[in-house]
């Protein structure tokens, strides 16, 4: 673990820096834009997540002696560049969609205004964080939408890199999950944590009766007993025999969850345990959650599928130079011209067009010009960094509230799980390209 | 960033600990086994990666004052458990497949022998690391096999969590990649790093001529020029005009790479630049690399697909209690009985059965008993930790050599990219379950 985030960066950002320091163009004013060309898997909306982590990482983006020594010894860049890096502090401005905001193809989710040299260095780190966290949050939001009022618990730490796990817990909480199994996420981000016992706990004991009795005695009657180690029906009866109707919950982690949930609910009710919750946890994703909507399930524990973005582990965001000072000192839109990966040049501004009833209708993107608010619209780009200073909240709790509000504004069709068009169209104003 | 890795752990590992400390079973001798029930996507073999990182993480798995304070304030566990955690040092033994080894369904890739309390705490961290790193290495190994003698460059940092990026660079290098774009991976793991310039660099300049001339002047003639910002043919001609036949390389990042590679090679040769390399980098995976085998390409830059496991971002490994001391003090195999997620109980031993010519023929797994070596076999479980002390190498270079040797032993069919059966079968001896 390192305190500096500066080397979480692609080699070529530094070689480009060396070349522009030599050529004299390092200080040209530039605008770099982060956007996604499309939404993964025909989804109806994406969720911006990671912005707060980008801002925290920016504070630690410093080339200290350890980083400079590595770069010198490996001859990554020349001495002049090392000297420049030693003094590096990002001093530009960053605008962006508030963390938790929904986004669509072409939404300018992060806009960096700085010299080329200062802005180009941030590309890799910005994209790593936004692509990961937004992929997880975009999947998680579909799951919480499918789950309705039933809480979702994130428990995928074991299925992703140990630090991604902490970020994934944060991104799922942002998107409405109620808790996580990840203790570090609890500590670092203040997210509620949850958990009781695994099959290994039951198997350690001589029999299930001993295992359950010990768990109830140590963790209390409100605990959740895992009932599918041996025979589910027998385990449910044993659980209520030992705990009585005060038993907090039972967990099912295998088998056909729909039919089992009905059977277990009927059994619990027959035993008088009407308030005992049923938690299900086996390979869930948004589709499995939707399929359980009519089953008597109280909580969903989601693992692999949410931390890996439910089939789309990276959000597909790119960080592109869209405008720069020309030799006459004037800003000029730029874009790669060849082949299929085109971008729209120019500094972007964005509004969410809303009906008088407050329902989102379109993403309006102005190029080099702010679109006109028609009275019910919402400005999407908010200041995140001014002259190098972070000016926006970086905590997940603010982002969580914002996401709930932004999602609630979408037309109902946005919550469909089937693949299709984005929930609202993106309209560019003044696009002369 | 935190020095202690102890909270990179699921909440329930600690509540289980509390319950077993109370019940008196915390000190029962146990064997926990990490294995995969199947290979992702019908692949022919998997690659064990992350073992070295697990061992490094184990050294920092300590509950210090900061961790204990968090657990106390959140009432995750009771005071007795906190006291036990304060003194926690893993004191057991760990055996495992050497990092870089290939594995098959049921291969016991990591075997932890300790008390229940000591071993259960490691579950989440072990799985996070092995599932991530093995997923990336398994995909990467297929890519390097498809690439043959042509070097692969890992450049996917921007498509995965910023710390996963460092681990992914390590896993791809293990699997035969030649270099990475990730500077932190260069520093932390001693992996060669590479990179030159992006489209933003070219777009910053008034024209491509100025951009190329500056890059050549600053980075030298051996640099690689990105030739698809505007018109590829014009850019190739300009590149050779400015650099001469000494030009190191040109990079193609869009379009139909097969036809473009032929065109660009012909143009370079016509201009006398016979030694100028062609690097291709657009959305490559093992299939795209194979499709380019007959094209005049010199290097492959691989991003998104390798760092996200080429469609399979988690290796599907699980950590199961397979044997434990019973009330009579004797070790006894255990396994979950209900539903579909069954395991094979008992302490495992493993041999790679080889023909007299040294070709792998089967994975032989003994249960509670070491299989007989027939003379050409290879022992797969090596000691990693003895009485709490790490006794195996943890560096990626050793693992890289081991992977090359282990892969070379597989029958030729193992390198097929099509989905199908594992390259060799797994045979259990003495399975009375």
Task: Return the closest-CA partner of residue B109 out of B97, B94, B125, B123.
Answer: B97
Q: What does the pLDDT read at residue A201?
A: 97
If asked whether residues B209 and B66 sit together in one domain, one would say no
For residues A53 and A59, what is the distance between their CA atoms, to the nearest angstrom?
10
Q: Both tokens of residue A168?
A: 């994934």
Non-local CB neighbours of B421 within 8 Å, separated by 6+ positions: B42, B44
Q: What does the pLDDT read at residue A433?
A: 47
Does a structural domain hold residue A142?
no
If asked whether residues B213 and B294 sit together in one domain, one would say yes
Q: What does the pLDDT read at residue A294?
A: 97
Domain that holds residue A158: 150-308
CB-CB under 8 Å, B218 with A19: yes
Q: How far is CA A333 from the centre of its chain?
A: 30
For residues A392 and A385, what is the distance between their CA atoms, to the nearest angstrom?
7
Distance from CA of B300 to the nearest CA of A (A): 16
pLDDT digits over A386-407, tens only?
999 999 999 999 999 999 999 9
CB-CB under 8 Å, B321 with A203: yes
Q: What does the pLDDT read at residue A340?
A: 58
User: A-contacting residues of B 93-122, CB under 8 Å?
Assistant: 116, 120
End of a domain among A260, A290, A308? A308
Asked if B226 is an interface residue toward chain A (Cβ–Cβ < 8 A), one would say: no
pLDDT digits over A145-157, tens only?
999 999 999 999 9
Asked if B160 is an interface residue toward chain A (Cβ–Cβ < 8 A), one would say: yes
Query: Rounded to the nearest 5°, which phi and psi values hold at A338?
Result: -80, 150
Q: What does the pLDDT read at residue A41?
A: 93
Res A47 pLDDT > 80: yes
Read off the CATH number of the domain in which A77 is found.
3.20.140.10
Q: What does the pLDDT read at residue B421?
A: 97
End of a domain among A293, A308, A323? A308
Q: DSSP secondary structure string, A46-112? A: EE---HHHHHHHHHT----HHHHHHHHHTT-S-HHHHHHHHT----SEEEEEPTT-EE-TT---EEE
CB A356 within 8 A of CB A363: no
If asked whether residues B165 and B206 sit together in one domain, one would say yes
Q: What does the pLDDT read at residue A138?
A: 98
If asked whether residues A158 and A80 sit together in one domain, one would say no
For residues B114 and B251, what is the distance between their CA atoms, to the nearest angstrom?
53
Cα-based torsion angle of the residue sequence B169, A310, A201, A225 in order, rounded to the nearest 10 degrees: 160
If asked whether residues A300 and A317 sit together in one domain, one would say no
Average pLDDT (B96-123) is: 98
For residues B282 and B287, what is the distance between their CA atoms, to the nearest angstrom?
13
If asked whether residues B342 and B360 sit together in one domain, one would say yes
pLDDT digits over A86-120, tens only?
999 999 999 999 999 999 999 999 999 999 999 99
Q: Both tokens of residue B254?
A: 């869009």
Does a structural domain hold residue A160?
yes
For residues A270 and A245, what is the distance between their CA atoms, to the nearest angstrom?
11
Asked if A84 is an interface residue toward chain B (Cβ–Cβ < 8 A), one would say: no
pLDDT digits over B339-362, tens only?
556 678 999 999 999 999 999 999
Q: Both tokens of residue A285?
A: 């994703």
For residues B350 and B369, what is the distance between their CA atoms, to the nearest angstrom?
10
Res B95 pLDDT > 70: yes
Query: Rounded to the nearest 5°, which phi and psi values hold at B239?
Result: -60, -45
Does a structural domain hold residue A29?
yes
Does a structural domain hold residue A65?
yes
Substitution target from B78, B118, B183 for chain A, most A beta carbons within 10 A = B183
Helix (H) or strand (E) holding A135: helix A123-147
If asked whether residues B130 and B154 sit together in one domain, one would say no
Contacts of B165 in chain A (CB under 8 A): 8, 128
Does a structural domain hold residue A180?
yes
**What radius of gyration, in Å, describes the C-alpha atoms of chain A?**
25
Distance from CA of A220 to the nearest CA of B (A): 10
Distance from CA of B286 to the nearest CA of A (A): 18
Q: What does the pLDDT read at residue A413?
A: 94
pLDDT digits over B260-292, tens only?
999 999 999 999 999 999 999 989 999 999 999
User: A-contacting residues of B 387-426, CB under 8 Å?
Assistant: none
Does a structural domain hold residue B274?
yes
Substitution target from A11, A131, A333 for chain B, most B beta carbons within 10 A = A11
Domain total for chain A? 2
Contacts of A57 in chain B (CB under 8 A): 162
User: A-contacting residues of B 1-60, CB under 8 Å?
Assistant: 1-3, 5, 7-16, 18-23, 25, 28, 30, 32, 57
Average pLDDT (B405-416) is: 97
User: B-contacting residues of A 262-301, CB under 8 Å?
Assistant: 282
Q: How confident is the model at residue A3 (pLDDT cuts 50, 70, 90)?
A: confident
pLDDT digits over A230-239, tens only?
999 999 999 9
For residues A41 and B148, what is the distance between their CA atoms, to the nearest angstrom?
32
Of B12, B18, B67, the CB nearest to A181: B12
SS3 A367: strand
Task: Report the percent of chain B where pLDDT is more than 90.
Answer: 95
CB-CB under 8 Å, A15 with B196: yes
If asked whether residues B273 and B329 sit together in one domain, one would say no
Contacts of A166 in chain B (CB under 8 A): 8
If asked whether residues A23 and A123 sit together in one domain, one would say yes
Mean pLDDT of chain A: 96
If asked whether residues B302 and B335 sit together in one domain, one would say no
If asked whether residues A113 and A250 sit together in one domain, one would say no
Does a structural domain hold residue B2?
no
Q: How confident is the model at residue A2 (pLDDT cuts 50, 70, 90)?
A: low
Q: What does the pLDDT read at residue A337?
A: 76
User: Exposed/middle/buried for B375, CB within 10 Å: 0-12, 13-18, 19+?
Assistant: exposed
Residue the block writes with tokens 């640099």: B223
Does a structural domain hold residue A4?
no
SS3 B167: helix
SS3 B201: helix
Read off the CATH number of the domain in which B199 is found.
3.20.20.70
Q: Both tokens of residue B206?
A: 């008034």
Res B1 pLDDT > 70: no
Q: Both tokens of residue A375?
A: 């009275």
End of a domain among B285, B309, B333? B309
CB B176 within 8 A of CB B188: no
Res B432 pLDDT > 60: no
For residues A44 and A340, what is the distance between their CA atoms, to the nearest angstrom?
23
Task: Report the percent of chain A where pLDDT is more than 70.
Answer: 97
Q: DSSP secondary structure string, A26-53? A: TT-EEEEEEEESS-GGG-S-EE---HHH
If asked whether residues B335 and B420 sit together in one domain, one would say yes
- Its ipTM equals 0.97
Q: How confident is the model at residue B433 (pLDDT cuts 50, 70, 90)?
A: very low
Of B70, B162, B194, the CB nearest to A129: B162
Average pLDDT (A353-362) is: 97
User: A-contacting residues of B 334-393, CB under 8 Å?
Assistant: 334-341
Res A431 pLDDT > 70: no
Res B338 pLDDT > 80: no
Asked if A204 is an interface residue toward chain B (Cβ–Cβ < 8 A), one would say: yes
Contacts of B197 in chain A (CB under 8 A): 12, 15-16, 19
Q: DSSP secondary structure string, A204-232? A: HSSSHHHHHHHHHHHH-TTSEEE--SS-H
């Amino acid at each position: 673990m390192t305190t500096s985030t500066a080397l979480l960066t692609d080699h070529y950002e530094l070689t480009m820096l060396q070349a522009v320091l030599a050529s004299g163009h390092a200080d040209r004013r530039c605008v770099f834009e982060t956007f996604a060309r499309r939404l993964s898997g025909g989804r109806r909306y994406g969720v911006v997540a990671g912005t707060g982590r980008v801002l925290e990482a920016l504070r630690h983006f410093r080339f200290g002696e350890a980083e400079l020594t590595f770069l010198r010894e490996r001859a990554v860049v020349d001495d002049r560049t090392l000297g420049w890096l030693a003094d590096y502090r990002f001093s530009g401005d960053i605008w962006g969609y508030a963390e938790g905001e929904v986004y669509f193809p072409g939404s300018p989710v992060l806009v960096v205004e700085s010299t080329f040299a200062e802005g180009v260095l941030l590309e890799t780190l910005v994209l790593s964080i936004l692509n990961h966290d937004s992929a997880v949050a975009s999947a998680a939001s579909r799951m919480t939408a499918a789950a309705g009022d039933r809480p979702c618990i994130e428990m995928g730490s074991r299925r992703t890199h140990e630090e991604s796990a902490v970020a994934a817990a944060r991104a799922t909480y942002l998107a409405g999950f109620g808790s996580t199994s990840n203790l570090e996420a609890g500590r670092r981000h203040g997210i509620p944590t949850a958990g009781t016992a695994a099959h290994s706990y039951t198997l350690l004991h001589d029999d299930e009766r001993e295992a359950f009795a010990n768990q109830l005695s140590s963790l209390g009657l409100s605990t959740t007993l895992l009932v599918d180690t041996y025979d589910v029906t027998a385990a449910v009866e044993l659980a209520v025999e030992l705990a009585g109707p005060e038993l907090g919950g039972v967990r099912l982690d295998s088998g056909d969850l729909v039919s089992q949930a009905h059977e277990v609910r009927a059994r619990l009710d027959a035993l008088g345990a009407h308030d005992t919750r049923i938690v299900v946890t086996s390979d869930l994703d948004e589709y499995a959650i939707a399929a359980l909507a009519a089953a008597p399930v109280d909580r969903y524990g989601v693992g692999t599928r949410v931390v890996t973005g439910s089939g789309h582990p990276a959000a597909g965001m790119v960080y592109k130079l869209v405008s720069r000072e020309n030799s006459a000192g004037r800003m000029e839109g730029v874009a790669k011209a060849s082949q299929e990966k085109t971008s729209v040049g120019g500094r972007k501004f964005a509004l969410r067009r809303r009906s008088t009833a407050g329902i989102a209708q379109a993403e309006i993107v102005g190029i080099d010009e702010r679109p006109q608010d028609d009275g019910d619209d919402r400005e999407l780009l908010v200041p995140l960094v001014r002259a190098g200073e972070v000016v926006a909240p970086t905590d997940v709790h603010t982002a969580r509230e914002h996401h709930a509000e932004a999602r609630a504004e979408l037309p109902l069709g946005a919550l469909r799980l089937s693949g299709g068009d984005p929930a609202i169209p993106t309209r560019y104003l003044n696009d002369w390209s």
